[in-house]
Amino acid sequence: MKVLLAGGGSSHEREVSLKSTVAMERALQELGYDYRRVDLGNELDVTQEWDASYDIVLLGFHGRAGEDGLLQAILEANKIPFTGAGVADSLLAFSKDASKRQFKKNGIPTAEWELLLHETGQELPKTTLQLPYVIKPDNEGSTIGLSVCQKPEDLIEARRVSGAFSRLIFEQFIPGRELTVGVLGDQVFPIVEIFPGHELYDYESKYTKGMSNYECPAKLDDGLARHIQDLAVKAMQSAGVQVYGRVDFRLDPENKPWCLEINTLPGMTETSLLPMGAAAKDLSFPQLIDQILKLSLKKYI
């Protein structure tokens, strides 16, 4: 199998993408794959790098332009095989509003929310939700633009952070523990618990070395852990997400899990959350990449 490994891109998560593709490249080297790695400024330029000698594109992009379904649509239109979720599932999972609608329809608990349109630079729109709540863009990854509003004064900072985006989700704040579950094919990985440096697992907590701590498997009783893992699989199925993904949850003080979102192209450095869960199931990082490639290619056979 010859692999075109593509990363970089134009989203807010470009630097994270480059770290993922460097880690993926080491995995491909260890696996003995024939490959070429490209750093692109525009995700859609993958089509310019592709030729008939390749078997598949290994997507290392993160964030809007690589994860929202547009790139996947271009690749499908050009009959180029690629890893992970397809067009419709990428589009649906990347919109927090659309995915939460699917969760609700399929009986997956998710916090109450409103999607509100916003003119950037203006006052934040009014929500019917009561404080505390979280404000975040409907279609960005890595908690870009996220604000936690516990009291009215927090809306001043929220206008600066979240107000830069035009489609905003106002979501009831769920206190409790931060959990995430990786899914690969028919495998569900052990749950990772995140102990963030801030109240929520925001961008700084994710990518500042030493700011957050992690435990995998999370300390949960067996029945609760299985329930959360089952919800993760159900969430993936509700959005039709193929091959692999990572599902994020909050666990409230009454031990009720609330599904937040699905990540269809989650971080893929050797210390990222999906590989962390895989490692707890005795699946090394190169083995994880190998399985993603093989399961993805099956879609085209």
Residues that are catalytic: 13, 142, 207, 246, 248, 261, 263, 267
Q: Determine the angle formed by the axes of helices 222-239 and 87-94, rounding to 10 degrees.
A: 120
**C-alpha to C-alpha distance for 49 and 300, rounded to whole angstroms:** 20
**C-alpha to C-alpha distance for 81 and 84, rounded to whole angstroms:** 10
Contacts with 251 (C-beta within 8 Å, 6 or more apart), sequence order: 176, 177, 179, 220, 228, 257, 258
Comparing CA positions, the residue from 233, 138, 137 lying closest to residue 185 is: 233
Contact 40, 65 (CB under 8 A): no
* CA atoms within 13 Å, Cβ hemisphere of 295: 19
User: Which residue is listed with tokens 């993603």?
Assistant: 292
